Amino acid sequence: MKEYLKKVMNNENLTLHEMEEATKLILSEETSDVLVGAFLATLKAKGETVDEITGLVNVLLENSPLAIPDELTDAMDNCGTGGDGSQSFNVSTTSAFVIAGAGITVAKHGNRSISSKTGSADVLEHLGVPLEFTRPETYEILKENGIAFLFAPNVHPAMKRAMKVRREIGVPTIFNIIGPLTNPVKLSSQLVGTYRRDTLETMASVLHKLGRKRALIINGAGYMDEASLAGENHLVLLDRGEIIRFTLTPEEVNLPIVTNEEIKGGDAKENAGILRAVLEGKEGPHRDTVLLNAGLGIFANGKARTVQEGIELARESIDSKKALEKLENLITISNRMKQGV
């Protein structure tokens, strides 16, 4: 570990193999907290490379007890990094049901609260969705319902070691951006929101190395880790190895301007109410924000040829109650499975 720390301190980048070895040491109880903390802080100061991020993700995926069989070749995720401090309602979680209602298999990776008052796990738990499932159970839910929730601590128990150090050093590290990259399902496509606009192309390159055919990485207006209706969104599209950068405003897709203040959320009960209200068809800024984000997800998957077409498919998913049906089915199936029925 000291060798890798010295190299990073000298502003040298680690190779993919070196980062994989460093990650194994980070996750080892034999490596001191001081060394791990120093390495993570120094790596952040240097700036994380594509190989360094990929190396870390590779080791986490290798250690995940929830690696899902390859048969789910068309699955996608729309998990964001969190960390934007916006206190928004659970945009990506709500959007996940809308994407699933449009006929796309969604392996929704998520955790408890990070930057919002309520994380995806908190709001789903309040809605009655159990959080912890085995690999076969998760696979069954995905096959039966087309959407399942993968609770991060259950997916990556090895992360507990790093969490202790991260809390103690109290500054953002590489672990703050890799959450969306560590889904154990072999996804074909992905929508990733990031609070760091400087990582858009880097994350696209990592996703390419991880085997994604298509992906859309977004940093919203106000540096949100979601698409925002407040102004200009910055996006990078990965399409079979090609990386295309572009911007998007609400006017371009016939949606109203909505300030980020208007989509602030609350506790688990309040956010669960917002989520259900959107899926039940309630009009307003929450629905419009979900239409944009779900539309982008459908476009990222490739089911829609344009973002506008994706938004229309998202609208149809909500209005037909197919998105709401996906939520109701997830509650029913997951509880039935937990009860052994």
Question: Which of 294, 290, 221 has its CA nearest to residue 259?
Answer: 221
Residue 66: predicted pLDDT: 81
**Binding residue positions for anthranilate:** 80, 111, 166
Residue 180: predicted pLDDT: 92
CB atoms closer than 10 angstroms to residue 226 = 32
Measured CA to CA in angstroms, residue 97 lies from 110, 122, 298 at distances of 14, 16, 11
Question: Which of 239, 243, 250, 226 has its CA nearest to residue 300?
Answer: 239
Residue 256: predicted pLDDT: 98
Residue-level length of the chain: 341
pLDDT tens digits in sequence order for the chain, 341 residues long: 999 999 999 999 999 999 999 999 999 999 999 999 999 999 999 999 999 999 999 999 998 888 766 666 689 999 999 888 888 999 999 999 999 999 999 999 998 875 456 889 999 999 999 999 988 899 899 999 999 999 988 888 888 888 888 888 878 899 989 989 999 998 999 999 999 999 999 999 999 999 999 999 999 999 999 999 999 999 999 999 999 999 999 999 999 999 999 999 999 999 999 999 999 999 999 999 999 999 999 999 999 999 999 999 999 999 999 999 999 999 999 999 988 75
CB 90 within 8 A of CB 120: yes
Residue 33: predicted pLDDT: 92
Residue 70: predicted pLDDT: 61
**Binding residue positions:** 80, 83-84, 88, 90-93, 108-116, 120, 166, 225-226
Residue 123: predicted pLDDT: 96
What is the distance between the alpha carbons of residues 83 and 169, in angstroms, rounded to a whole number?
16
CB 174 within 8 A of CB 52: yes
DSSP 248-264: E-GGGGT-----GGGGB
Residues β-bridged to residue 238? 215, 243
**Binding residue positions for 5-phospho-alpha-D-ribose 1-diphosphate:** 80, 83-84, 88, 90-93, 108-116, 120
CB atoms closer than 10 angstroms to residue 257 = 15
DSSP 208-252: HHTT-SEEEEEE-TTS-SS--TTS-EEEEEEETTEEEEEEE-GGG
**Binding residue positions for Mg(2+):** 92, 225-226
Query: pTM of the prediction?
Result: 0.94
Residue 85: predicted pLDDT: 84
